[in-house]
Chains A and B, each alone.
Chain A
Amino acid sequence: AQRVTQPEKLLSVFKGAPVELKCNYSYSGSPELFWYVQYSRQRLQLLLRHISRESIKGFTADLNKGETSFHLKKPFAQEEDSAMYYCALSGAMGAQKLVFGQGTRLTINP
């Protein structure tokens, strides 16, 4: 079965501090992993995907197949990073059928 676990529902850090949002997955094959973000009053949008290995808005995420993790990191948090973050996986059903975690609400305090 495919499953994505985000252990923290809420995460609060101060501006300028490092941020790490945790994501663990369960999938027996080779998954594709994504991070989606939803800013206040905006729609869900793709932040980054592991296959492109990009850094978007200062965020990076490395796929660790040994630990089945895809944690999202940013070295210096900014207030505009406050949002809801979802980790998602696609696998057996195809690249465009996503399994989402329950999300982590990130709050950056000034």
Chain B
Amino acid sequence: DSGVTQTPKHLITATGQRVTLRCSPRSGDLSVYWYQQSLDQGLQFLIQYYNGEERAKGNILERFSAQQFPDLHSELNLSSLELGDSALYFCASSPRQAPRNYGYTFGSGTRLTVV
């Protein structure tokens, strides 16, 4: 157990729907990162939150949004889902704004299947 908890583990939904993925960071970590992993694109950075505020944004679609709550858990909202959104979504956490020598601690991911 890495200490980063992601729920749900699996999600199957229809095109056009909206889903919410949840992440609880490792205790004491203030940064949360979201990544999308697909076979052809590899690991793509979506967004980072640090202590409740957005810190960095990657290639996140406008249909996707995220937030980090006062208790530091984070949610990634995916709307108007398309078949191409099917992927593994990982959450990672780190103690500070930048990973430095700590690196990230990853959760085990949420596998999203859009049908």
A binds B: no
Q: A-side interface residues toward B, CB under 8 Å?
A: none
B residues contacting A by CB (< 8 A) are none
